[in-house]
Structure 1
Amino acid sequence: MKIKQAIDRIPGGLMLVPLFLGALCHTLSPGAGKYFGSFTNGLITGTVPILAVWFFCMGAAIDIRATGTVLKKSGTLVVTKVAVAWVVAIIASNLLPGGSIQTGFFAGLSTLALIAAMDMTNGGLYASIMQQYGSKEEAGAFVLMSIESGPLVTMLIMGGAGIASFEPRLFVGAVLPFLVGFALGNLDHELRDLFGRATHTMIPFFAFALGNTIDLMVITKTGLLGITLGVSVIFITGIPLMLADKFIGGGNGTAGLAASSTAGAAVTNPLIIAEMLPEFKPVAQAGTALVATSVIVTSILVPMLTAWWAGHMKSKENDTQDAVA
């Protein structure tokens, strides 16, 4: 059977197919992990440790001579993504009465849901796409995207003194595996080769674990509003990201478009924020469903759009070269 070839025909398929298999598993049998226990439960629920190992290997695979490029690209994408979400938060806080909408088509939409959907990039999806359509340095730009993980950036964007405790040690914890891998890979090129080969292999494993946090039924619960939010995330964050990638990051916009997704980890942010600030509990459930739908929608559309854009830019470059020749 040509399973690998079939997966490769799907844009970002190495990430997307296991993600939806995991989501299907969670939807049909949400207690499967606890039922089987042991290694099976670890595989189903091990998003963070699997990502940690993958992050270490990603660091080991990057040559120190590419560090400037990686940091420039990564920093550009992260800063742009957070800045756009911040602007959206400011606008939404002024337009949404009480921070949420209670009736009509947009019922359930809140400032919290908008921020959570837009301020985090699906780093695994990004790396998977860029390994297929970009360079190793562009794929390695995931390095700073881990800083977006968790509720910290969401809390900062929501702003206000006393709302969030922004501890530097959490940033250190987010990048430490990458830095250790980066150091070892550059101290010994054989270690770089050893760990570097694992970066591609581990993508389907953390994708499957991540999928097991998503219930496919959220689409029916949120309806067109959730789908609209997912499309809006790509449009609202994608255009600034593509422009920043082109004019600041030195790319052709492909990396920017690949970063315009909603991270799977963002699904937990509304409930985490609500636990810290009880006033957000009335909108937390709807926010969670909307963000989860946005994860699914962007996971489908971003790889397709990126594949089309990469092909368009390659064709444009070939036409230019032919004209010069």
Structure 2
Amino acid sequence: MKIKATMERIPGGMMLIPLLLGAMLNTFAPDTGNYFGSFTKGMITGTVPILAVWFFCIGASIDLRATGTVLRKSGTLVLTKIAVAWLVAMIAASFIPDTGIQTGFFAGLSVLAIVSAMDMTNGGLYASLMNQYGTKEESGAFVLMSLESGPLMTMVILGSAGLASFEPHHFVGAVLPFLIGFTLGNLDHDLRAFFSKATATLIPFFGFALGNTINLGVIVDTGLLGIVLGVAVIVITGIPLILADKFIGGGNGTAGVAASSAAGAAVANPVIIAQINPSFQPVAASATALVAASVIVTAILVPIITALYARHIGKPEVYHPEPERYTQP
């Protein structure tokens, strides 16, 4: 059976399918983890420890020796994405109460949901699209996009926008596994190669655990709103990303379109942030469902829009990097 190949044909399938299975389990048999206990409960409820290991491995996979052009491209996209999410958070905070919107079409929408959906890019989807429609240096911009992974940037945005307060050690705790992995990966290339292999392997596991924090009834209740949020992520972040790519990053805008998605790992942010700051607990469930919906919507639409944009603009000249000046130990 070609299970893996079938899952990979679906955009983000290696995470989204386990996430959906976890959501189904949590919806129809929510006590499964408590019933079986032991390792089964650990896989069902282990969102935070699994993500902690994943962040560590992501950090270990990043090489400081990336070329200046790649760093310029990735830095432009990452900073633009974060800046847009921060600006949107400032505006949204003026209209949305701390407990989220409770009634009407926008019921369930919160600043936490908006920021979580907008401040991270689906790096794997971006790299795949750039391999097909961009250059090698644009594909390599995935390097710094990994820095967005995890709740740190969401915490920074919420804190700097005056929407929440976090103790300094909470910020350190959010980024420490990543920094340790990054340090070890750059001190020892063998460790980088060893830990990098786990980044893809862990995705289905934290996808399944994340799914077990979602009740499908919430997704049904927020279904159309989730689609609207996904489209809003593409439009609101995509336009500034296109402009930044063209006028700062030196591209033709295709990389900006490809970076306008919502990251699968962002689904975990509402739950993690609610654990750090309990004031977000009332909106965590609906925010998780909305972010999950936006991940699916952007995973489907961004490849289509990128292909149409690239066809209209024309594929840029293929980049040929200089030969490496070092040898692996």
TM, length-normalised to structure 2? 0.75
**Root-mean-square deviation (CA), in Å?**
3.8
Cα separation, 2, equivalents of 1:147 and 1:72: 24
Residues 1:305 and 2:301 are matched in the alignment: yes
Give yes or no for the alignment of 1:291 onto 2:292: no
Shift of 1:204: 1.0
Residue of structure 2 in register with 1:148 after alignment: 152
Seen in structure 2, the aligned counterparts of structure 1 residues 75 and 177 have a Cα distance that, compared at 3 Å, is farther
Question: CA distance change for structure 1 residues 131 and 28 in 2, over 3 Å: closer, same or farther?
Answer: farther
How far the C-alpha of 1:256 sits from its partner, in A, is: 1.9
The runs of 5 or more residues in structure 2 that have no matched partner are: 131-138, 319-329
- Partners of 1:188 and 1:261 lie apart in 2 by 29
Question: Which amino acid is 1:190 matched to?
Answer: D
What per-residue deviation string (whole Å, max 9, x for no partner) do you get for residues 153-212 of structure 1? Answer: 3243244xxx52451x33332232222222322332222222222211111111111111
Match of 1:84 in 2: 84
- Alignment of 1:64 onto 2:39: no
Hey, what does 2:192 align to over in structure 1?
192
Q: Residue 186 of structure 2 contacts residue 192 of structure 2 at CA under 8 Å; is this kept in 1? A: yes
Match of 1:32 in 2: 32
Asked whether 1:176 is paired with 2:180, we answer no
Aligned equivalents of 1:71 and 1:267: distance in 2? 29
SS of corresponding position for 1:208 = helix
Deviation at 1:271, TM superposition (A): 6.2
Higher helix share: 1
Structure 1 residues 97 and 5: CA distance shift in structure 2, 3 A? closer
Displacement after TM superposition at 1:7 (Å)? 1.0
Residues 310 and 222 from structure 1, CA distance in 2 versus in 1: closer, same or farther, beyond 3 angstroms? closer
Match of 2:53 in 1: 53
Going from structure 1 to structure 2, the CA distance change for 1:104 and 1:308 (only over 3 Å counts) comes to closer
For residues 223 and 315 of structure 1, do their structure 2 counterparts lie closer, same or farther at Cα, with a shift above 3 Å needed? closer
Aligned AA (1:119): V
- Which of 111, 118, 124 is 2:114 aligned to? 118
Alpha-carbon deviation of 1:13?
1.2
Residue 222 to residue 197, structure 1, CA distance change in 2 (3 Å):
closer
More moved, 134-143 vs 299-308: 134-143
1:254 and 1:309 in contact (8 A); partners too: yes
Distance 1:105 1:264 in 2: 21
SS in structure 1 at match of 2:6: helix
Q: What letter corresponds to residue 257 of structure 1 in structure 2? A: S
Give deviations 1:255-290, integer Å, cap 9, x for gaps. 5223477921344489679954xxx9xxx75x4454
Question: What do residues 34-68 of structure 1 show as CA deviations (whole Å, max 9, x unaligned)?
Answer: 22111111111112211221222222222220286
CA distance, structure 1, for counterparts of residue 269 and residue 13 of structure 2: 21
Identify the range of structure 1 (134-143 vs 16-25) with the bigger mean alpha-carbon deviation. Answer: 134-143
Instruction: Return the letter of the residue paired with 1:238.
Output: G
CA contact (8 A) 2:82 2:119 kept: no
The residue number in structure 2 matching 1:256 is 259
CA distance, structure 2, for counterparts of residue 308 and residue 125 of structure 1? 16
My pick for the range that moved more, 299-308 or 58-67, is: 58-67
> 1:109 Cα deviation (Å)?
5.9
Change (3 A) 1:49 1:125: farther
8 Å Cα contact 1:18-1:208 kept in structure 2: yes
What's the CA shift for 1:232?
2.5
CA spacing shift, 1:262–1:116, aligned 2, 3 Å: farther
Shift of 1:213: 1.0
TM-score using structure 1 length: 0.76
Q: Are 1:11 and 2:11 matched, yes or no?
A: yes
SS at match of 1:66: coil
Distance of 1:297 and 1:87 partners within structure 2: 22
- For 2:239 and 2:302, the matched residues in 1 are separated by 12
Query: 2:152–2:174: 8 Å Cα contact kept in structure 1?
Result: no
Unpaired runs of 5+ in structure 1? none
